[in-house]
Structure 1
Amino acid sequence: MASSNGYDDVPMLPVSCTSSSSRTRPFTSRSRSVSLSNTSSTIDVFENSSTVVLGYTDPLGTQRQPQLVQMGDPISSTRNLELVHNARDDDAKGWARRFVTSVDKYLPKIMEPDSKEVGGWTIFFAFSCLLSIFVDPLFFFPIQVSESGKCIRIDEKMARVLVALRSLTDFLYFVNTLLQCRLAYTDPKSTVVGSGQLVKGSVEIAKRYYRGNFLLDLVIVIPLPQILILWIIPHVLVIYGANTIKNLLCTAVVVQCIPKLHRLFHLLARKRTTGFIFESAWASFFINLFTYILAGHIVGSCWYLFGLQRVNRCLRETCGDHMESKCHGVCKELIDCGLRLKEKLIDCERRNTTVTQAVLNWNVTAAACFQENGFPYGIYWKAVNLTHDSNLPKKYIYSLFWGFQQISTLAGNLVPTDFVWEVLFTMAIIGLGLFLFALLIGNMQNFLQSLGRRNMEMTLRRRDVNNWMSHRQFPDDIRTRVKNAERLNWSSTRGVNEELLFENMSDDLQRDIRRHLFAFLKKVRIFSKMDEPILDAIRERLKHKTYLNGSMVLHSGDLVKKMVIIVRGQMESTREDGSCTRLSKRDVYGEELLTWYERSSLNPDGTRIRMPSKGLLSNRDVKCVTNVEAFSLSVADLDDVMSLFPNLEISKES
């Protein structure tokens, strides 16, 4: 066979063949190999070995894998180790690939940010954010003061209920974290022209999320209050006391509440690629109102917590002033209601009989901490009565009322003491109240104004029309007709300019909307036999018209400038011979314009001619019997339709 190229002249595997038809050839020597890395060493192995390995090479130089033969040569052992190592790597890669595939089956597909599912989840997640922020301050209320024992304790039953609610909101945050890894995003580099290109690669989406809000969401999802309530508090309460646990719990709630507020503000500001979250005005109203109540809830909860801290401060100062014994400090430890501390007190009483009397004196004196003049509580005095009340609804509702009242009045009725943190808390309430008044109350005002915006526009237009008529000195009868025409036109359109709404819509959407609006067109006698493309062209050119009762729409002998289709009301058509015809819904006057245009616009050879400038003269008077709402088609628009469809014919049946 002739060689097709120069490379075929050089044999890749020179052998001596005894028969051209034989498919097996004895291996003698090899100068090039594509499967063995060390050719010379491998050849020596084959030459010194009694085992013969047969191989075949096709014209492209690829070789079939020979059967592996166990040999004692060091090179052979080395290659066996490499094969084992590669097999292990393949197994590891295969296991990882199988794991990713199995996990990917349970994950949702890549979703577009403007899809219906993402929009629904965004609204649901916004409410869950509000619920989560609402639940976190409730962890302050299980901390109570035992008035009889003069100590601070934690209501575990109440705390476990809050843990269940908090776990539910954490689960929703966790689901949202998973969805963020499957949510496509718009490439910022592609937003130069148009709305941008969506990135749908799972790896790119995950990298972007990890570089963005992943750490923030991770801090939110960590169940810190649950860990404290269920595991840490039961073991360290008797060692460090309730005051330390209280500080840890408050710190955990505050640390996680700040990222949640950050997330919530992003949703309310509508800065995400999901577009508008709350399109309804009522939805925005309730969100703003709930946010205002949420601010009162946070302020009231903090007020209860700070009041609890002032009670704790009073008890500790009372203990320091009246505990004088070698067991000094036992009463400070008793403030935390620890079981081991009670045992310590009993042990002290056994070793020192004066301890009992000192503790009794301290209990009597500590009762002053629950009296109005016993300690300078300032703005926290009413919270003192709530700290030793185990009725959660009572404590919460009053705290919510206090917070809502102070935000609404900008803390106008508060008189703080000289305690620094109390003054700062009052200043924070004033600043928060001003911020909410400017933001939320302003939004609510805009909402209330938006409800009557159309009425306001109508009022302003009516005032402009009145000023215009006064300036032009219209007579009273024309003034009345103008006012009635404005009122009729406004009632029929509701102040909406439909042509402006159509501008940003696609052609197919405009066509479908017009088919819906002008569905009556097929029921009109003269248009009933026309094809759909012709009707679409007519629908694009129809103009909305309103006529007052008694208006003369057309006089006999005038040019017929338009064809009018009645959709509401009645007209009366009177011919020159005195015959009268009542026109109502779906009736047309000026239909002779279409028929005459068809007959006069074609030459005998089939070419189209322009309509004469004199036009068509009317032979009847048309007058409105009632207020009429109609759609008109002008001569110029009709000329456009006829130029688009030169073979248009009006059937005799129509």
Structure 2
Amino acid sequence: MKQFLPKWNEIFALVCVFAVFLDPLFVYVPIINHKDRCLTMDNTLGTTAIVLRLFTDLTYVANILFNVAKASEVLKEEGKWKRDQILRNALEIFKDSWLFLLVDFLAILPIPQTIVLSFIPKVKGQKFLDERKFLNFLLLSQYVPRVFRIYLSSKEVTSTRDKLITKTQWIIGLNVFIYFLAGHTYMQMVTQRSEEIKRKMKLKEKEIEKWIYDNDLPKKIQTDMMLIVKNRLEEDKDVDVQNLLSLLPPEKRKYILRLLCFSIVNKVEIFKDKDKKVLNVICDYLKPVLFAENTYIIREGDPLDQMLFIKQGTVWVYTASASSHGGRSTMTDTATKRLGKEDEEELVKSLGKGDYYGEELVKWSLTHKSFPMSTENVKSHTKVEAFALRANDLMKAIFSFWWLFRPNLPGQDCISLEEIWRRLAIAAVRKFRQRLIAQGNKSMKSLRVEDAGGKSNRERTVN
């Protein structure tokens, strides 16, 4: 046995290294079949990995038996071996070789085989990623006894006389292994992250498809949307499909806003005969809003400070007399049944997809008389997606094209040509002034940067 010891130590050390490089194969056995969109197993890779792992495990078992035999030889040489006391001999062997036996036992635990063959095939949906993470964790944890076993084997090899591998070579080998392990861990993290993004993308894709369908948008927009969602997910940021417009670049956001709202804005009586540019500018000022079910949007008696253009959901518009009819505080189904059909239509008005509310605000923006107050309650009956046009933004849009709204101004039919040119000149001067202020701000910033750079250069020269 003493003659065979050096050779066995070298063989076992090489098998230990091979076993460590073998374990990562189990991570790639579960694969996703993109055609059928389901989890499957790579049978060829799985069979290869299991057979090779069986070979390394049998080598570990042989090493355990070899260590037991070696320890018993030592006991016999020292005269501690008792033929009739098996339990005592076993305890002595364990005391002498417990570290080797424990490390070898932990190294041959069939953790990856059990998970890959028993647990992962039964897992569905989101739990697959959790099982994949758990498998990675167990493989990394099993690396500890395996790497430690390589260290112990290298010590045994370098302690023998006829060593073929020097201590320096073993150190180099361990460094290479650590480098490989770090690379493998990083690749696992990248792969896992990529799979998680794909899973989220698949979920978001369905939501975006529904959003595009519900809003009657062209199918080609979905590609741009998905690219933006992917970039957001790669930055580890969540994506709210209901607020996709906020993620878009300004030009793309304007384009989609116009597609979404142009037809509804064009329904407003005062906007019907206006130029397309006017409607586009109004669409640019719209802000997406979301209202939960049974939420007051505008209460009776409150200032009417916005127009609403409804894209999804149902909105009820009713007066205080409707809400108190039948002795109730709100318009319930019971109260509705007590009313006749004609009375109900007079008391409660229902607005849905493609409708708008708040035309009085347009009339106010033209006359600038007292601010309109709501004479009705506006309440969401279901979840409502809409676009809001604030009073201030409406005034900006109308002021930009005020001459086009001249026919809509009460008592302004006989306005002189001179007055038209005067107002055009005021609008042009204001735009020119805004442009100058913007350019001045940019110039000031560049001067500050140059001044800071010159100051730092002067300080370096003085030093």
Question: Do both share a fold (TM > 0.5)?
Answer: no
TM-score in terms of structure 1 length: 0.29
Q: Looking at secondary structure, tell me which structure has more helix per residue.
A: 2
Higher-Rg structure is: 1
**TM-score, scaled relative to structure 2:** 0.40
| Greater relative CO (CA pairs within 8 A, separation 6+) | 2
